[in-house]
Chains A and B, each alone.
Chain A
Amino acid sequence: MMRAHPEASILAGGTHTVAAMIEKKIKPSLLIDISRVGALKRFEIGNETVVVGALTTHTTLMEAFADRSQAFKSFAQSYTSPAVANIATVGGSLALKTSTEDLITVLLVHDAILRIYRAEGVVEATLDRYLGDEPGRVLIEEVKFLNPATISATFEKIALGISYIPLISAAVRLDQNEKGGWICRIATSHRRGEIPGRIHEAESIIERAGPSDETITRAAEAVMSTIDPASDLMAPSWYRKRVASVLVKRHLLKLWSGVVG
């Protein structure tokens, strides 16, 4: 249908598309309503991974994981509007590829892998790679990510008091594997412009040498020097860089003390 109707807008939860139609930002001549496609509603929690269909709502994720994961707990507590969470979907958030979608930052540190329909066929891509792709028409079918209850991850957002739109947010994961090596994931809401992404440069500092006061400081500095956030009405780029660095340092120290302690 997407190939046959390139002018159509896909309608999942509607939180973005309906609002954009009202504001006349988009004027689709055709809406493809996918809300009743059963294949997009998968929800399976395995021992190590979770697979959710694109139509899974944010509320469903929060209810499943907020009690078992610091990252999802913080995601739920800093959510803009619980009423919106009842209809906002995982697929819709990921399709937007924007800094306002906190879920993207959270899922980045859970090693999320997307199953995507493109014009050329079905592909699997890591969320990090998908975010780096050029914009194009895609339909996300499902997302697989590490079971939040099995990893140590945190999320924090600095936001305006009323809107809860992030000035900057960061998610961090720090775990040890069976061989004693370190697994580190660091993501921010503004990796490049307004697009979230992982900061591999900072992750590798921790993974190579392990966490210490010195490596954590270096990783935080790498965050500041690597990300290239947009400047806008809410915050300048330099401010976002500094705050991202502070958040990452704070959470690496917190997770390290948790692992060691």
Chain B
Amino acid sequence: MRQIRFTVNGGRYEVEVRDNERLVDVLRNKLGFKSVKEGCGVGDCGLCIVLVGGRPVNSCLALASRMDGEEILTVEGLGSAEHLHPLQRSYIEVGASQCGYCIPAALLVTHSLLSRKSRPSADEVRLALRSVLCRCGSYLRFEEAVKVVSGDE
């Protein structure tokens, strides 16, 4: 076991973790961030994606013991029910959410992209979204939502 300190959604946490404990398990089970979903568990589906230092990372592949000092963002930190993030509002407006399971990951991936490039091209949006497997096939709506936020539509 080891003690790690990290920031999740702006809050500071100190957690005791096993050396082989995954970030997804710590975030969901120890800290209660239920937006972090586990799908395949081996880095293929991307449903467990969170932002570490602003970049998307599969939390099922990341060991929590390596997160000491890191800043993590889950979708709970993006906006609240009362004050949705513009990207969340955009997802709702264009009807991007179908079953909803991949939406936290898709939001974080597109949020990360927009924070690095305010007006990404369609190809850039599609490449970024390759990290997330959406079984409902909402990719075109995700792309539309990004266009709305970036002012391209």
Contacts and interface: CB of A to CB of B under 8 A. Distances in A.
Contact of B56 (A14, A18, A80, A86): A86
Given A18-B61, A18-B63, A22-B60, A80 B42 contact: no
B76 interface: no
A141 B127 CA distance: 30
Interface residues of B, number: 27
Contacts of B117: none
Interface of A: 11, 13-15, 18-19, 21-23, 31, 33, 35, 59, 76-77, 79-84, 86-87, 162-164
B20 A35 contact: no
10 contacts: A14-B66, A15-B61, A33-B19, A35-B66, A81-B43, A81-B58, A83-B55, A83-B58, A84-B58, A86-B55
Contact of B42 (A13, A23, A35, A86): A23
A53 B98 CA distance: 43
Contacts of A82: 56, 109, 127-128, 130-131
Contacts of B114: none
Contact of B43 (A19, A35, A77, A164): A19
Contacts of A33: 19, 63, 65-66
A84 B127 CA distance: 12
Given A14-B63, A15-B43, A18-B61, A84 B19 contact: no
Contacts of B55: 59, 83, 86
A163 B44 CA distance: 8
Nearest to A86: B55
Nearest to A87: B57
Given A19-B41, A83-B57, 6 more contacts: A14-B63, A15-B58, A82-B127, A84-B58, A84-B131, A87-B57
Contact of A164 (B52, B66, B128, B130): B130
Contacts of A86: 52, 55-57
A84 B20 contact: no
B149 interface: no
B116 to A, nearest CB: 10
Contact of B49 (A13, A80, A83): A83
A15 B128 CA distance: 18
A87 B56 CA distance: 9
A15 B20 CA distance: 13
A83 B62 contact: no
A235 B46 CA distance: 26
B22 interface: yes
B63 A84 contact: no
A13 B62 CA distance: 8
B133 interface: yes
A13 B66 CA distance: 10
Contacts of A15: 43, 58, 61
B144 to A, nearest CB: 20
Nearest 4 pairs of A and B residues by beta carbon: A83-B131, A83-B56, A19-B42, A81-B131
Contacts of A59: 55
Contacts of A23: 42
A86 B63 CA distance: 14
Contacts of B19: 31, 33
